[in-house]
Structures are given as structure tokens and as C-alpha cells.
Amino acid sequence: MSEIAPTREARHTRHGSSIGQPMTRREGVLKVTGAARFAADNHPPGILYAVLAVSTVARGRLVSLDLAAAKAHPGVVDVMTHENRPALASDPDEKSNPFMFRLDLLQNDRVRYAGQPVAVVIAETLEAATEGAALLAPRFEAETARVGLNGAEVFAPSTVGVGNPPKAEKGDVEAGLSAAAHRVEATYETPAQYHNPMEPHGVVAVWEGDRLSLDMPSQALVMAQGRLAGLFGIPPENIHIRSPYLGGGFGSKGFPAGPQVLGIMAAKLTGRPVKLVVKREQMFGPVGHRAPTRQRIRIGMDETGSLTAIENHTRTASSTYDDFFEAAADVAHTLYASPAIRTSYEAVRLDTGTPLFMRAPGEAPGSVALESAIDEAAQAAGMDPLAFRLKNYAEVEPISGKPFSSKALRECYRQGAERFGWDTRPLEPRAMWDEAGRLRGWGVGTATFPALMFQAKARATIRRDGSGLMETGAHDMGQGAWTALAQIAADALGLDIDAVEFRAGTSDLPDAGIAGGSGHTATAGMALHQAGANAIAKLGELAVNDEASPLFGAGNVGTVARGGRLVRRDDESRGESFSDILARAGLTHIEAEGAAQPDGAAQEAYAMHAHGAVFADVSVDPDLGQIRVTRLVGAFAAGRIINPRMVESQLFGGMIWGLSFALHEEGVSDPRTGRVMNADLAEYQIPVQADIPAMEAILVHEDDPHVNALGIKGVGEIGITGTAGAIANAVWHATGRRLRRFPIRLTDLLD
């Protein structure tokens, strides 16, 4: 049965449009009371528990496992290895499209990264499985691990991101740099980062013949169905995935991860339901991460501060066995007006798990480097950093020359600066002190992220009792999708939100596409909007052709849905209820499908991006180098806002992640073994409550008639892209020291 999103936790007694209202989360009460059922909360009868045994070396081969000791342990049912695993219908290392990533499913005894699963222990209890995994005592034949951006042979990747070209150029960069009155050349380094959502990856798998039932967090249900169907040789419709709630994803749950597939294989091996949940330390390897980058940026300016050239040459890394290259340089294509722009890439292959999409992929590391370099350029030109950005404001997309579908960035700068008090900022560094005797600095960063949209479907039903039902296999990772999408659904049907039942989160519903790229609300929302419009059109056809209806003959004028009624477009006093129309037609309900897809012609004609500006206030202890962010103000323009409360929450989350990027996060690999040394949430530093400053997110009005019919852009990732650079620039303004390696460490300020 499909998951039914609750509709009665908090009633909203208002009429008119649901879109634009700051409604509270529809599933909020379930979550705070513990009633929301996440994947690992499911316990079918006869369940077994599976635990991974993983490699302790980054490169080599598995020599031995003490299978006898593990199997002899009380409660252990079986141990799955590369020698007894169930056969698969396709090779896990096959790659037929850019969205199919290679998986480690016990293919052989080879080890490709530290933390790679080498066996699965299956037992009656979690404790027995955990103890059995320890008893396996795997031994390895280690080879020298390739670690770090200098750790392997450099080559030119054929693509970056998902199919993007590795080189792009407009104008003559060398001529622009040669002619420049001022030049900046600097190298910026960003580290490997690991997404660690509150809910680790896991699965509860049940086989019934060739039918598979899964409770599994997923950001793309139908894509997951297809991938698993190919691996197990069964039709996609034989796989039912339930994923009503996700405890975060950040891109890591866009595709089935290897450990989840191993849990499904363990269920097939034993013939019983199996639960496998990845341990926290096992999140640092098989489920993706953000690759490190080294970005060499060159910028030229004339005597007035106008740009003459921008170049970003990026080195990044992928695994030895797959291809995903962080498109960090590409952010230089979109932000600043320059007659010459060039981006290029080189890469190394390391003994790590494959880097994958991590929140604001490409833009996050690319923007922190570009925004730092732009600040350095402003300093070289003797200009205020905000004035320099406005001087080089791009009225069209610089690399392509396309007009923007909409761009309210100038207004973001204005409103953010005004709220922050930027006009009182001294130009020179080390000119401000706080009352505690700490150096104080202010910085600004420009935020940007593409306005993406994918394909999706939805189904709308209008019932005789005047209520509505909307269905789509949408995903809520905690960002409020169930609320925002229900608001769109209610408006599409012309009903109050409390009169609409909203179903989402299972693979037997219409395909809602992928919840990624900050495009889920636009994608699933447009499908819901179209399904509602089609259902209302069917209802209107019944009414205008019925002589007994007050709407009879209104076909040329048209009708509008308002508050559960259809009314004439030219005279809203003439109309009737949905219930009356259906009752007179002898129908219990009326149903329609809807679909959404990107507008190819609009995408060809326009550059589509969300924009913003973030202003940061930091204090730095002059003796200890301790950095504190004391205030963040962000102003963002992201098209039509469906729910201001949810959007503000998303922007705060992005700004916090930007703070984390600038000052905290770094995956550290042991150069001797290739193992991640801080594979836990104690030593992998992320901000805690005490690190979070006063924050403000300003929602700047923006109308965009081109991105989609609803005018929606995404907000999930854009907050990161301005914040990290703003903080780095504020640290320079406080200290006079330009730090180009991230995260910024207090030791960097004490050297």
C-alpha cells in the first residue's frame, strides 16, 4: 500500500492559495513524536541482521577470512563472501550511462579502497552479526596506496560532472591577461568531504519468489528500481520500494549504494528478510564523497577594475575503477562579465571509493575558490569587494552569451548589504576590533546554482465528497517536500490543503524523478500542477456540457477552480461545487495524469540560475588564531517561493554547510595506508550549535516566466555557494592574511 502523507496534524483554516504560505510541516508531529517510520524501523517476521566486514587496506587483495570462527558463533546464520554470494544478472562494474556507477558487490578478492565490503555476516541478532564480523579477522595482502592529489599519474578526463566538457573557452585569455593592468594568480585547495546524513544507508529486504520488497532510503525511486532490476534480472515492476522518509541524503542516496545491494543479496542467500544498516565509520568509502580539488585561478583587470580575463584550471580525483570528476571550474562560466574565460581540468585516480554528487557538487568547491580570487582581484584593483562585483556584474551569461531567464542578483547585493550594514566597512584589513579585543572582519560571497528540472509524473483525483487526492513517488529528505508539494497539489485542484490527501514515497506511484540538484520541487511540483489542471479540465468539460449546470455553455469563456467549486472565468458568482458536478454525472470521482519535463527550447534560449549574496562577520583571536563567525546575512533570489518557512530553513542549512566548508570539514587520509583517519562524527569536524552564529535569510522577489510554468527555482544548495567564500574573505579582512587552503585552520593564522 502506498504511504499516505498525514493531512490533519495542523489545520490551516484559510482560503485562497496555499502557495506562498509559511505552513508548518505536515509530517512534523510524526517526526517529533517518533511515529514516522524510517527504513530501518521496519521489522518483518523472521528478520535477520547483516553486518559488513570491510577492508582495512586501500589497495591489494583479501588473503583469508576465519569463516569457521564466525559461523560457529551463536546466532550466526551464514557468511556471504565473493565465493558464495548469489549470482547477479549483470556485472556490477558495467556502466552503460553516466548515472550508472560501479558497485562493490563481492565480485572477487581485489580491494579497491579502505572500507570496501569484503564479507557480510548474517545472524539472528544485530549483536551476533557484529561479533561474527569481528571474528572473521580478515587478512590482506597490501599494495602501496595512491593518496592525495599528488599521489598518482595526472591525466585529462574526457568529461566532468555528468557529461560536461572538460574544456571551455571564450575569447583570448592570454591576451586578456597580458593586457591587464592588475593580475591575480593563486591556487586554492579544497579537501575530500564526506556526506553523513543523520540516517545512514540501509535496507530491509524481503524476497518472495522473484518479487522484491524493500524499505530503503532513496532520492530516486524509479531509478533505483531500474538499477536493481538489472542487477537481479527481474522486471522493475517486481520491485516495490518504500521510502516515505529520509533522514537526509545530500546526494548520497540518489542511487542504490553497494551496502544496500549487499543486504538484498543476503536476503536472497538466506531466503529470509534481512536488515543491513551501514555503521557510521562505514559511511567513509562505499557511498560517495566530495572529491578534493586544487584550483589555479588567474584573473586580469584593466585600470578601472573591469575584468579582462578569468581562467580556472582544476585538478581533481576519482577512484581507480569509475569516473566522476568534480566540475569545480565551471562556476566561472556564469558569474562575472569577462571578455575572455577559460576552464580546464586534469585528474588523478586514487585508491578511494568513487566520489559522487555531494550537496552543490562542483559549485561548492568552485565558488569558494572563485569568490576568494574575486576578492583578491578587488584588493589588487583597490576597490571595495562588493563594488568590484557590481562593476563586473554579468547581464548575460558570460560563457554562452545567453540572457538569463531571470536574475535579481543586483537586488540581492543591495538588500543584503543594507541589512548587514556593509557601507560602514573599512577597505583595509585589520581595521576593526570587537569589544573583547578580537580582530573583526567582514566578507561577501556571491551565491549561484543552476535552476534544474527533471522529468516526472503525477496523478490527480477529484472525489464526489469534494476532496482531492494527489499521488506521485516524491521524496522528502527532511527539507519539507511533503508540505511544499502538497501546497502545489492543493492549488492545482482549487482546494484547501486540508481537503487534499497527498501520497508519496513509494515506487508504485507515478515517477517523481530524482530529488537532487535542487530541482525536486520544480520537477514533482510541475507534474502535480499539470495533473491537477488536467483533472479540473475534465471536470469543467462535464459541467459546461451539462444543461442542468449553471456553467452550461461556458466553454468559450472558461472556468476556474476556487475553494472546491468551478466558477465562470468572467463571472465568479456563477458556479457550482465539484460534488454537484460529479453527482449529477453519476461519478464517484474523476482522475487525470500529469507529466513534467524541462522545456528544451527555453533551456536553449536562456541561462537558468538562482542567485544570492552572503555577508559574513567574523572575529579572530589575534593571539590564538581562533575564528568565530558571529553573523551571517544572506539574500537569495530563487524564483517563486512555495513555502517561505521551508525555504528559509533550507537556506539556513546551506549557510551552515558553507560555514562548515570554510572552517571545519575535511576527510583526512593516512598517506601510508589510504585509510580515512577521522571516519566518525567526533573527529570529522562539523559545526555544532555553539558554532552557529546569528543568521538571517532574505527572500528577494523574483519572477521567472521561463524556468517552468510555476516559476520555481531550487534553494537547497545555493546557500553553501556564497557562504564559504564570504567567511574566507572575512577572515582576510580581519587578519590581512589570505588563506587559500580549506578548511581554514587556526594554525594557518599562527604560522
Instruction: Kindly tell me the burial class for residue 339, based on how many C-beta atoms sit within 10 Å of its own C-beta (0-12, 13-18, 19 or more).
Output: middle
Provide the edge-to-edge strand list for the sheet that holds 565-568.
559-562, 565-568, 571-577
Q: What angle do CA 310, 312, 313 make, to 5 degrees?
A: 145
Active site residues: 717
User: Which amino acid, residue 345?
Assistant: Y
Query: Helical H runs in 293-401?
Result: 363-380, 385-391
Contact 359, 717 (CB under 8 A): yes
Please name every residue paired with 697 in a beta bridge, in sequence order, or none if there are none. 634
Torsion of CA 696, 701, 704, 708, to 10 degrees: 60
Radius of gyration of the chain measured on its C-alpha atoms: 27
Residue burial 587-621, b: 16+ Cβ < 10 Å; e: rest: beebbbebebebbeeebeebbbbbbbbbbbbbbbe
Long-range CB contacts (within 8 A, 24+) of 382-389:
382/305, 383/305, 384/425, 384/427, 385/443, 385/444, 385/729, 386/413, 386/417, 386/422, 386/444, 388/305, 389/336, 389/413, 389/444, 389/446
Is 314 strand, coil or helix? strand
CA count, 13 A, side-chain hemisphere, 619: 12
Separation of alpha carbons 226 and 228, rounded Å: 6
Separation of alpha carbons 554 and 544, rounded Å: 6
**Sign (positive/negative) of CA torsion 227, 229, 235, 239?**
negative
Query: Strand 589-596 and strand 432-433: pairing?
Result: unpaired
